[in-house]
């Protein structure tokens, strides 16, 4: 087995472990009221403003029915409101409500506090390198 194979196995294991630890139900409950999928969708709406289902689906590489179902769940909880598309009466856009923005910010702060504790012993350079490598990995999934 080559060194490259060992590296790939280590990356696979470490990423699997990271995702499991970072997204377990017990952790999610300690990180605020938002489920992971809701947090991501609200984060995207906060960053980009009003978006349609297709744009949300594209942002997360979801099929339209999944994105629509998640947006409807956000609407039912009062996190977003549905706005009609003035050009196409069949389509609609979603926009964060004040309540949705508040829940997003509360959850985001809780998550940031957690990362601050987890990474308190990391140097600034290590954190910046980690961000750079994570960003690079995330881009490879969509490039």
Domain that holds residue 5: 1-31
Does residue 18 sit in the same domain as residue 84?
A: no
**Do you know the residue count of the chain?**
143
- Two tokens, residue 65: 């029915």
pLDDT along the chain (143 residues), means of 10: 78 87 63 82 95 92 93 96 83 94 92 90 96 92 76
Task: Name the domain count of the chain.
Answer: 2
Does residue 63 sit in the same domain as residue 47?
A: yes
φ, ψ for residue 56, nearest 5 deg: -65, -45
Does residue 89 sit in the same domain as residue 119?
A: yes
- pLDDT for 32 equals 72
Does residue 126 sit in the same domain as residue 62?
A: yes
- pLDDT for 22 equals 76
- pLDDT for 66 equals 94
Does residue 123 sit in the same domain as residue 74?
A: yes
Task: Report the CATH number at residue 42.
Answer: 1.10.10.10
Does residue 67 sit in the same domain as residue 42?
A: yes
Does residue 84 sit in the same domain as residue 24?
A: no
Does residue 107 sit in the same domain as residue 65?
A: yes
- pLDDT for 29 equals 60
20-43: per-residue pLDDT in tens?
877 765 555 666 778 888 999 999
Sheet with 51-52, edge to edge strand ranges: 51-52, 88-96, 80-85
- pLDDT for 78 equals 97
Does residue 52 sit in the same domain as residue 86?
A: yes
Does residue 58 sit in the same domain as residue 93?
A: yes
Does residue 61 sit in the same domain as residue 98?
A: yes
Cα gap 92→54, rounded to integer Å: 10
Does residue 27 sit in the same domain as residue 39?
A: no
- pLDDT for 128 equals 96
- pLDDT for 65 equals 93
Cα gap 61→55, rounded to integer Å: 10
């Amino acid at each position: 087995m080559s060194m490259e194979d060992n590296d790939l196995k280590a990356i696979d294991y470490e990423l699997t472990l990271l995702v499991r630890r970072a997204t377990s139900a017990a952790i999610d409950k300690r990180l605020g009221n938002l489920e992971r999928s809701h947090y991501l969708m609200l984060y995207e709406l906060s960053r980009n403003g009003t978006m349609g289902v297709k744009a949300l689906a594209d942002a997360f590489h979801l099929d339209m029915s999944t994105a629509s179902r998640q947006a409807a769940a956000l609407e039912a909880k009062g996190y977003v409101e549905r706005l009609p598309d003035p050009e196409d009466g069949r389509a609609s856009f979603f926009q964060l409500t004040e309540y949705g923005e508040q829940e997003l910010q509360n959850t985001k702060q809780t998550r940031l506090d957690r990362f601050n504790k987890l990474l308190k012993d990391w140097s600034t350079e290590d954190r910046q390198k980690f961000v750079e490598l994570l960003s690079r990995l995330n881009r490879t999934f969509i490039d």
